[in-house]
């Protein structure tokens, strides 16, 4: 097995046994990046020299008996996380030459855990989109078929994990931007509860929605990273003081005690037939091993599009106001069309005479969505649904589609709006060879439960042939 194809658990074991070094592991990833970047464009910046120096230091610490959860593990970070001394662009030329003077809390925690930083991954500019096609540095391609999109906005992170360019990556989700690209690229994507992971140092898109989280090859890897990232942060007042769980140590769960909720509203008109059939097949597997499936009547997810569009655009208009070309970055004339549209929409929604009509009403409907989920979780433990209504779409699918992102994320937007915990897990492939994902949604701060249910499904399907498939690049 090639070193770059290992997951975190396997890499950790190999490093501790001295089967290979962190330098060798890092070089294997860098070789894969050099080999594939001309096709994938998953990275904005590759930090080769810094990564090799960090790997050398990690090998010294390992030899000295140091034990850190991610010591010597090569990881990539989405390019909207501030990295000390390393260019951070949010994939916008407005920040083409911006070098932050500090690390985001997520980056600081990963470095303290021993991470080797391979670089910064491509994304939709300012995280505005669900395809990575709005990146000012060119679209990322899907490793399973480079004529298709990887999803977004964390498309570069998801593609780099699927293509074994990295051992794991970090993304951020505002309304599906971890789970949707993870679904289209066939990897695991964990969206923690809002406030479980600090937003400090993340270039803000929707401040009341943004949730950093891991994109990994296995559920256990996501649990390991969440243990590192989660927790209160004095620099982010929205982080929760609730204790961080031992997520990776509590993955096993008795499925016979599990109540799974499903809602026909999440199997919307126009959903891809293969996606629908694959999710229904996964539910039957759970049922076969003792889980109870209960039908729910959930608030129609189409209403989340309206709520998200108004709230997110309003917060965008506020957050992007700081990029005026005076303190840092280029001038506002460098903004591309998508950013301009969102700024104008949000400014209008917040303007005098329209605030109550739009923004205030959207917040009231948001509360209705939150309450709807609370009632559902009084009856069931988790809710399972398709992550995306479609398979990965062809490159160019977003052209002339101003609402592409909202439509592509329709099934994940409600749980993001409600600040819930959710995870995408791969459940197979279409006849055309494109990945299909399924999401597991839990109440706020139910990461332990969501991860354990995902882990059990991973175990149930471990011997299935599709589990060993890799992109042919």
Rounded distance, CA 217 to CA 168, Å?
Answer: 7
Q: What average pLDDT does range 204-219 have in this prediction?
A: 97
Phi then psi dihedrals of residue 135, to 5 deg: -60, 135
Question: Cα 106–111–115 angle (5° rounding)?
Answer: 110
Give the model's pLDDT for residue 402: 62
Q: What average pLDDT does range 354-365 have in this prediction?
A: 90
Bridge partners (DSSP) of residue 188 are 216
Q: What burial class does residue 80 get, using C-beta atoms within 10 Å of its C-beta: 0-12 exposed, 13-18 middle, 19+ buried?
A: buried
The two structure tokens encoding residue 468: 């060993």
Give the model's pLDDT for residue 405: 62
Catalytic entry in 22, 92, 139, 177: 177
Q: What burial class does residue 186 get, using C-beta atoms within 10 Å of its C-beta: 0-12 exposed, 13-18 middle, 19+ buried?
A: buried
Beta-carbon-side half-sphere exposure of residue 353 (alpha carbons within 13 Å) = 1
Give the model's pLDDT for residue 9: 98
Query: Would you list the domain boundaries of the chain?
Result: 3-468
Rounded distance, CA 55 to CA 30, Å?
Answer: 12
Rounded distance, CA 12 to CA 73, Å?
Answer: 7
**Whether residue 248 lies in the annotated active site:** no
The CA-atom distances, in angstroms, between 459 and each of 220, 242, 258 are: 11, 29, 16
Tens digits of per-residue pLDDT, 135-175? 999 999 999 999 999 999 999 999 999 999 999 999 999 99
Catalytic entry in 21, 82, 91, 153: 153
Indicate if the pLDDT at residue 403 is higher than 80: no
Q: Which of 100-104, 227-231, 320-324 has the lowest mean pLDDT?
A: 320-324
Tens digits of per-residue pLDDT, 220-253? 999 999 999 999 999 999 999 999 999 999 998 8
Give the model's pLDDT for residue 23: 98
Give the model's pLDDT for residue 134: 95
Burial 122-152 (b: 16+ CB within 10 A, else e): bbbbbbbbbbbbbbbbebbbbbbbbebbbbb
CB 161 within 8 A of CB 168: yes
200 torsion bin: left (phi>0), alpha (psi -120 to 50), beta (else): beta
Tens digits of per-residue pLDDT, 49-80? 999 999 999 999 999 999 999 999 999 999 99
Helices 105-112/219-229 angle, 10° precision? 110
Helices 219-229/8-16 angle, 10° precision? 80
The CA-atom distances, in angstroms, between 276 and each of 16, 280, 374, 391, 456 are: 43, 6, 25, 11, 21
Indicate if the pLDDT at residue 404 is higher than 80: no
Indicate if the pLDDT at residue 13 is higher than 90: yes
Q: Model pTM greater than 0.95?
A: yes
Tens digits of per-residue pLDDT, 198-208? 999 999 999 99
**Whether residue 147 lies in the annotated active site:** no
Predicted confidence band of residue 401 (pLDDT cuts 50, 70, 90): low
Rounded distance, CA 103 to CA 84, Å?
Answer: 5
Catalytic entry in 21, 22, 78, 109: 78
**Whether residue 177 lies in the annotated active site:** yes
Q: Does 3.30.110.40 match the CATH number of domain 3-468? A: no
């Amino acid at each position: 097995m090639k070193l770059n194809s290992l997951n975190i658990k396997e890499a950790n074991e190999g490093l501790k046994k001295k089967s290979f070094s962190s330098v060798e592991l890092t070089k294997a990833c860098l070789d894969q990046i050099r080999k594939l970047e001309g096709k994938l464009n998953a990275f904005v910046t590759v930090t080769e020299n810094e990564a090799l120096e960090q790997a050398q230091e990690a090998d010294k610490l390992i030899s000295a008996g140091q034990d850190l959860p991610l010591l010597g593990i090569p990881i990539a970070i989405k390019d909207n996380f501030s990295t000390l001394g390393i260019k951070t662009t949010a994939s916008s030329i407005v920040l083409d030459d911006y070098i932050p003077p500090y690390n985001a809390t997520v980056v600081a925690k990963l470095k303290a855990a021993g991470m080797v930083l391979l670089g910064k991954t491509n994304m939709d500019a300012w995280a505005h989109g669900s395809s990575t096609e709005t990146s000012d540095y060119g679209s990322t391609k899907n490793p399973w078929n480079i004529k298709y999109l990887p999803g977004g906005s964390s498309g570069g992170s998801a593609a780099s994990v699927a293509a074994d360019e990295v051992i794991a990556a970090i993304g951020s989700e505002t309304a599906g931007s971890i789970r949707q690209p993870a679904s289209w690229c066939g990897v695991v994507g964990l969206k923690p509860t809002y406030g479980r992971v600090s937003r400090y140092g993340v270039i803000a898109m929707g401040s009341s929605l943004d949730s950093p989280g891991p994109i990994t090859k296995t559920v256990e890897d996501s649990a390991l990273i969440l243990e590192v990232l989660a927790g209160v942060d004095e620099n982010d007042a929205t982080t929760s003081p609730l204790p961080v769980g031992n997520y990776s140590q509590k993955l096993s769960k008795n499925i016979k005690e599990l109540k799974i909720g499903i809602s026909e509203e999440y199997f919307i008109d126009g959903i891809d037939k293969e996606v629908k059939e694959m999710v229904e097949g996964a539910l039957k597997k759970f049922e076969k091993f003792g889980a109870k499936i209960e039908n729910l009547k959930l608030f129609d997810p189409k209403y989340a599009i309206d709520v998200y569009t108004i709230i997110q655009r309003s917060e965008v208009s506020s957050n992007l106001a700081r990029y005026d070309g005076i303190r840092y970055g280029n001038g506002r004339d460098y903004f591309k069309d998508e950013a301009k549209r969102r700024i104008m929409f949000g400014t209008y929604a917040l303007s005098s005479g329209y605030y109550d009509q739009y923004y205030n009403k959207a917040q009231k409907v948001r509360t209705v969505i939150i309450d709807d989920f609370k009632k559902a979780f009084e009856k069931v433990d988790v809710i399972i649904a398709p992550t995306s209504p479609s398979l990965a779409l062809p490159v160019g699918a977003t052209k002339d589609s101003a609402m592409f992102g909202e439509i592509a994320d329709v099934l994940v937007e409600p749980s993001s709006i409600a600040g819930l915990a959710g995870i995408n897990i791969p459940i197979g492939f279409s006849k055309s060879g494109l990945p299909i994902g399924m999401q597991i949604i839990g109440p706020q701060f139910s990461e332990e439960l969501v991860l354990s249910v995902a882990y059990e499904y991973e175990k149930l399907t471990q011997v299935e042939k599709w589990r060993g498939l890799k992109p042919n690049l």
